[in-house]
Amino acid sequence: MTALDLSSPVAVVGTGTMGQGIAQVALVAGHPVRLYDAVQGRAAEAADAIGARLDRLVEKGRLTGAERDAARARLTPAGQLADLAGCGLVVEAVVERLDVKQELFRALEDVVGDDCLLATNTSSLSVTAIAGGLASPGRFVGLHFFNPAPLLPLVEVVSGFATDVSSATRAYKTARAWGKTPVACADTPGFIVNRIARPFYAEALAVYEDQGADPATIDAVLRESGGFRMGAFELTDLIGQDVNESVTHSVWQAFFQDVRFTPSLAQRRLVESGRLGRKSGQGWYDYREGAERPEPHTAEPAERPAYVVAEGGLGPAAEVLALIREAGIEVREYGEDNGYDEDNGTRLVLPSGGQLVLADGQTSVEYRDVVYFDLAFDYRAATRVALAAARSTSPRTVAEATGLFQALGKKVSVIGDVPGMIVARTVARLVDLAVEAVAQGVATEEDVDTAMRLGVNYPLGPLEWSRHLGGGWACSVLDNLHECAPSGRYAHSLALHRHAYAADQQEGTPS
């Protein structure tokens, strides 16, 4: 099965932002494109808007004038649905209502030929359900583009329960011929990206709701330590709080209210107040003229410790030991005459006798004089590190931990004593959902990682991140989180349990 021939017309139904973007992609790829909208006159307006964007591409040197003129000549507003007869592919981008989409595709079946591929750009509805009333559901697929469609490379090619392999293959190859990076996906709530990405938003909101940190600090830690392009609060402001909450609610309902996908009360209050993000002028941040962006909490300078005692290799944070040595701070190995006589573990002991431990899903209050430090994507490149301490932790230990990371050139944010901190709990849950999706046949490991890198700009795909951290890391963190908060939210999947054991066996660790 080959990609759709360039001579075959492509129709786009729905001429909002996404519909226009998809039409532009098909147009620039070389297809004749027909635009249809149920509201009279909107298709012509959309054609004019696409033409203006083609002009800008010429100004930027991405199209020649001749290519623009040829593309414009291939673009036709359609006055009625019957004008879509003869198209080889119809992509729908109308309102996210199941009944509306079902009615549209039933009408399209009476118009287009038997060999026409039918596709929905839905982001939250079941592809199987949309195709449920069709006479020929085998030719129906999901083609989920990401906004803005002309710029973002990812397309999720979703096979419904009745989708023929040949239809999915043609859609996949067509997306690739259009210069996109397609990933194959089974029909599941949220597909790949919107299913696996839920914890990125949910855990930031949970830390905020538990008074662990304010939005500006959480966002700064996710960016500057976690390596994410944007923090969760600024990203949901960009997406639109109503849109982001709606997707979360849809996935939660589709999974029969699985507690792991439970929506946030804090976000609900924000939506109810009309603070929808950038588009309304206010969200988690204030975007009105003259408003100032709040600064993240950053600790005042503290004195560096003279030495640390290393117990174990710090696991995923091993790079921290190298950075400490490079900063000229003495690293004493456990077993030297250091006056510390606790059981061996994976931690740093500070001159105060307090311990500095990598976030593991537990809280500082469970131990005597412990400061946790958060996971970082790359400790060498990170510009900020978060610390967490209980109220009972000695001020001297907190100061020494702060001074240590400041000596490594890092800004320090001291947050509340929340289990798993910010980055660690987020990454652990992303890994869990990714491993589960692969185990359930939603997509391959490669496609999951590709989708999360390209769809939401993660620094690593979750499965690649899991290999970097060690197979059992996420499982252990979630076990500890579940013990701290046994609501079921942090109960990891059976797939992650198996994944951890398989990784341990490959690494030669006894199980």
Task: Cite the active site residues.
Answer: 123, 144, 156, 194
Q: Is 139:167 a contact under the CB 8 Å cutoff?
A: yes
What tokens appear for 177 in the block?
Answer: 């011929």
Cα–Cα distance measured from residue 276 to residue 296, given in angstroms and rounded to the nearest whole number = 22
Instruction: Output the CA–CA distances (angstroms, integers) from residue 98 to 69, 107, 125, 132, 256, in the order listed.
Output: 37, 14, 7, 11, 18
Neighbours of 494 (CB within 10 A): 10
Q: Is 368:422 a contact under the CB 8 Å cutoff?
A: no
- CA 199 to centroid of chain Cα atoms: 8
| Residue reference for tokens 């009944």 | 99
Cα–Cα distance measured from residue 129 to residue 127, given in angstroms and rounded to the nearest whole number = 5
Q: How many CA within 13 A on the CB side of residue 54? A: 26
Instruction: Output the CA–CA distances (angstroms, integers) from residue 8 to 12, 24, 47, 294, in the order listed.
Output: 13, 15, 19, 52
Q: CA torsion sign, 315 to 316 to 318 to 323?
A: negative
Q: Compute the radius of gyration of the chain from its Cα atoms.
A: 26
Which residues, listed in sequence order, are joined to residue 89 by a DSSP beta bridge?
Answer: 10, 117
- CA 309 to centroid of chain Cα atoms: 37
Give the angle 325-328-332 at the CA atoms, nearest 5°. Answer: 55
Residue 311, SS3? strand
Instruction: Output the CA–CA distances (angstroms, integers) from residue 503 to 313, 358, 409, 498, 500, in the order listed.
Output: 19, 21, 34, 9, 5
Cα–Cα distance measured from residue 62 to residue 59, given in angstroms and rounded to the nearest whole number = 8
Cα–Cα distance measured from residue 40 to residue 47, given in angstroms and rounded to the nearest whole number = 13
Cα–Cα distance measured from residue 140 to residue 130, given in angstroms and rounded to the nearest whole number = 9
- DSSP percent split of the chain into helix, strand, coil, nearest 5: 45, 15, 40
DSSP sequence for 90-131: EEE---S-HHHHHHHHHHHHTTS-TT-EEEE--SSS-HHHHG
Neighbours of 256 (CB within 10 A): 8
